[in-house]
Chain A
Amino acid sequence: MNIAIDQMDNKLKQALVEYSTANITGEVVSTFERVINIKLFYPSCLIAIATDNVISAPYMMKTKNLKAFNELQRRTKIGDSICFNEKKLLIINTCTVDYTPAKTWDNSINIKPLNYSVVENKYNNLKTYLSEFGKTGGILTAFLMREEGTHQIIPKMYDSYFKVILDQLETELSVDNLQQFIGLGVGLTPSGDDFITGLLSVLYCYAQHQSKITELICSLKNINFQNKTTHVSSYMISNALTGQVNTPLKDYIALELDNKRMNKQLIDSIISIGSTSGTDMLVGVCFGFKYLIKNKGRV
């Protein structure tokens, strides 16, 4: 059986074309209704084969052929090996995944000069939007407890702990304080990881001129997240450290136009990710915007 890939991340395509794929091996680490995750041993990365309606993310390839995808998903089990044939096509069991004609997208965050009025506007709008439409259950409640002084009638176990570590992070944006979020919370990508992803996206985009931030990103790159959180999450954070995040998040971070409709569309797309993952990422973004505003003028 063959599956044609219609679109994929340009970095992934570039890597597969450039590397000698004969040496690339890997295994399936998780399968879901619309996504199959594969861990490549060399180069070390997590790639995903997904259906067309999944939000585009780094190292993902997508197919419009639902019938073929469903068949592949049915046949694929966690732990199945993958390899590439002589034509550089990906082989899983007896299925051949042809990515060569695929169009590409770009998940790289563009580094932008910091325009405070844009960031202040986005911070205020995002905070209001999150308090109205954000999904609770992850880090949002703790964030709103801090920002708006709201309280929970039925407190959840994570809320108070998230609140404490958010306080610490606001006091000092340090590697140690950031590490407290890694792997913390519910979900396949724990809420703390989603928060970090959102926050790193903002810092990557707007704060690379601050030596403190470049040092912070460098230090985080040296940390092995694999033993601190889930497979999917550890790669998500590693990707964010290199400026690679899902498409709506990338677009939202970089959007400078005061276009409410476009902002709202992008925020809605992010919120729709996972159960609370999208909301948790946006809380990280909001926190990042606030950090930039607070540190206005510092280099």
Chain B
Amino acid sequence: METKVVIEKNAYHDSVTLMSLSGKVLQQEGVVDAVVSMATKMNKDLLANVGMMTNEAQSASENDLIIAIKTEDEDTLNSIVEYVDKQLNSKKLASGKKGNEAVKTLNGAIHALPDANLAVISVPGEFAAREARKALNKGLNVMLFSDNVSIEDERELKELGAKNNLLVMGPDCGTAMINQKGLCFANEVEKGGVGLVAASGTGLQEVAVQIDRLGYGITQAIGTGGRDLHEKIGGIMMLEGLKLLDKDDNTKVITLISKPPAKAVQDKILEKVKEISKPVVICFLDGDKEVVEESGALFASTLIEGARQSIRALDKSATFNTELDKDSKEWIKQESAKLSDSQNYVKGLFCGGTLTAEALSVLRENLEEVKSNVAKRKEEKLNDSSLSDSHILLDMGDDEFTKGKPHPMIEPNLRNERILKEAENPNTAVLLLDFEIGYGAHEDPVGESLQTLIQAQRMAKDNNRYLPIVAYVCGTSKDKQGLKEQENKLRDIGVFIADSNEMASKVAGLITKKGGQLSE
């Protein structure tokens, strides 16, 4: 074991920085223990108790920062010290950077970029509507990342936007791709002929990503915010998006993505679809195929089907292989055979809400008693998310988990803890996971969970069980984290990598059925 204590004299980093650094260091491979704390007497005593005290640390004062690291070997120690230094200094450099200072107000931003026509607003909810109104009044389209905006404010903003032919994407809009620029959580997607409008963040990402992976591309991906199809909003922005994409010459096919809207809103949207001159694909998860098709639109019940339908509408010659290949079938068979009698349930732990809903759509047809915190049907609703005595599909990005904590797409610790809990549970047959890459996502989401997954497999093994893991990495080959690199890290520890969230869900279902078939 190697120990080093780094002291930063009179360091004033805010608590969030210190806690985040502490967590990140502990997660690095080869780190046995780490403490990032102020050099108070009690903290130094504790350091001495765990054998991490040095002379330098002993002489540090209450207002100095101690970073104590214990690693398995010297090389790891040196790289971790370098990592810590980089983390602390990059923050200082970023805040002290000259000539490129961030502006602090909307007016400052407009002054700095007078030609801008879109404002991304991410401020506490109580101020968000005011800032969005200001931006709209200055002729800017708005992407409102903030949540906690009242439904009344949302309606007023969207009406103001529609009146001035401006988009109001949000509130609580996490994804958009405008002119090939990703906003908030988004992917590097090839340019092409499909225009997307979605009231669902990861739903929009998944359809765009699948279109890219199948060799096609998109014009725009417009997010509306999850509440746009609520009766009180009336789908104002989905209708505006539809109108805009209809006028856009580069858009050849328009695809709408959402969970099923309120009936009155759906009727309004389908009426509008009838007036659209281009093919329209409607991907309403759990939606009514017949009603949708009556409007002349093509229906898709899953996100990947939404991508395929969009491509079919664009290119009649396109064909898709939807079957599992021989190797995958063999893998499923082998994994199923290793399960013990107690292992009967799928445990889906998701970062993406719509991906959770899609998994529910896929699995409910084939497994009994699938429960989820995103379920709309009463009998499927998981009222207590701590329970795990059936098949469960959890959206870990839901407010109940993220209140006061970062979203698992940014900070995977929240989900990692749950992964270990499910690994401990003897009824867990398979872990089903999603990883999102691209703009806004963690710089190495798989890397942040890898040790946890290895630990989970080990925990199962120690209890004479085997734990299969099925994962899907939502992203394209052009995303900055590297799709292949992310997938390979998982493959290296025996995780099955699916090509889509739908496929991952099916594979998890098949493993759990222990040789049974899924219905198509």
A residues neighboring B (CB under 8 Å): 29-33, 53, 66-67, 70, 78, 132-135, 137, 153-154, 157-158, 161, 180-190, 192, 226-231, 234, 268, 271-272, 274-277, 279
Contacts and interface: CB of A to CB of B under 8 A. Distances in A.
Nearest to B17: A275
14 contacts: A32-B12, A135-B404, A153-B421, A183-B38, A183-B40, A183-B42, A184-B46, A186-B22, A188-B13, A188-B18, A227-B62, A271-B404, A275-B15, A275-B16
Contact of A182 (B22, B42, B108, B124): B42
Given A67-B105, A186-B18, A228 B421 contact: no
Nearest to B405: A135
B37 A78 contact: no
Given A154-B420, A229-B38, A275-B18, 4 more contacts: A135-B405, A153-B420, A229-B40, A231-B63
Contacts of A190: 37-38, 40, 42-43
A276 B19 contact: yes
Interface in B400-459: 400, 403-405, 417, 420-421, 424
Contacts of A271: 404
A187 B18 contact: yes
Contact of B404 (A66, A133, A161): A133
Interface string B95-121: 100000000110010000000000000
A43 to B, nearest CB: 21
B10 interface: yes
Most buried by A among B16, B37, B49, B421: B37
Of A134, A184, A275, A276, most buried by chain B (CB within 10 Å of CB) is A275
B36 interface: yes
Nearest to A184: B42
Contact of A274 (B16, B22, B49, B405): B16
Nearest to A185: B37
Nearest to A273: B15
B82 interface: no
B97 to A, nearest CB: 12
B37 to A, nearest CB: 5
B63 A230 contact: yes
Most buried by A among B10, B14, B16, B420: B14
B484 interface: no
Contacts of B35: 157, 186
A234 B62 CA distance: 10
Interface string B224-245: 0000000000000000000000
Contacts of A70: 104
Nearest to A182: B42
Contacts of A132: 400
Interface of B: 10, 12-16, 18-20, 22-23, 33, 35-38, 40-43, 46, 49-50, 62-63, 95, 104-105, 108, 124, 400, 403-405, 417, 420-421, 424
A42 B20 CA distance: 36
A157 B46 contact: yes
Contacts of B37: 185-187, 190
A103 to B, nearest CB: 20
A45 B304 CA distance: 62
Nearest to B37: A186
Contacts of A228: 40-42, 62
B420 A188 contact: no
Nearest to A66: B104
B40 A182 contact: yes
A279 B405 CA distance: 12
A291 B63 CA distance: 32
Contact of A184 (B12, B22, B40, B424): B40
Given A190-B40, A229-B40, A157 B16 contact: no
Contacts of A158: 46
Contact of A30 (B12, B15, B43, B417): B12
Contacts of B417: 153-154
Most buried by A among B12, B20, B50, B105: B12
B404 A187 contact: no
A271 B400 CA distance: 15
Contacts of B421: 153
Contacts of B124: 53
Contacts of B38: 183, 187-188, 190, 229-230
B15 A277 contact: yes
A187 B15 contact: yes
B42 A180 contact: yes
Contacts of B63: 29, 230-231
A240 B60 CA distance: 27
B423 to A, nearest CB: 9
B175 to A, nearest CB: 25
Report which residue of A30, A181, A277 has the largest number of chain B beta carbons within 10 angstroms of its beta carbon. Answer: A30
Nearest to A34: B14
Contacts of B108: 67
A296 B231 CA distance: 52
B19 A187 contact: yes
Contacts of A268: 403-404
Contacts of B16: 274-275
Contacts of A277: 15
Nearest to B423: A153
A32 B316 CA distance: 59
Nearest to A53: B124
Nearest to A31: B12
B46 A161 contact: yes
A157 B104 contact: no
B14 A188 contact: yes
A157 B108 CA distance: 45
A275 B46 CA distance: 21
Q: Lowest 10 CB-CB distances: which A-B pairs, in order? A: A183-B40, A184-B42, A275-B19, A275-B15, A30-B12, A274-B15, A187-B15, A183-B42, A275-B16, A153-B420
A271 B402 CA distance: 13
A184 B43 contact: yes
Nearest to B108: A67
Contacts of B424: 153
A268 B40 CA distance: 29
A33 B19 CA distance: 17
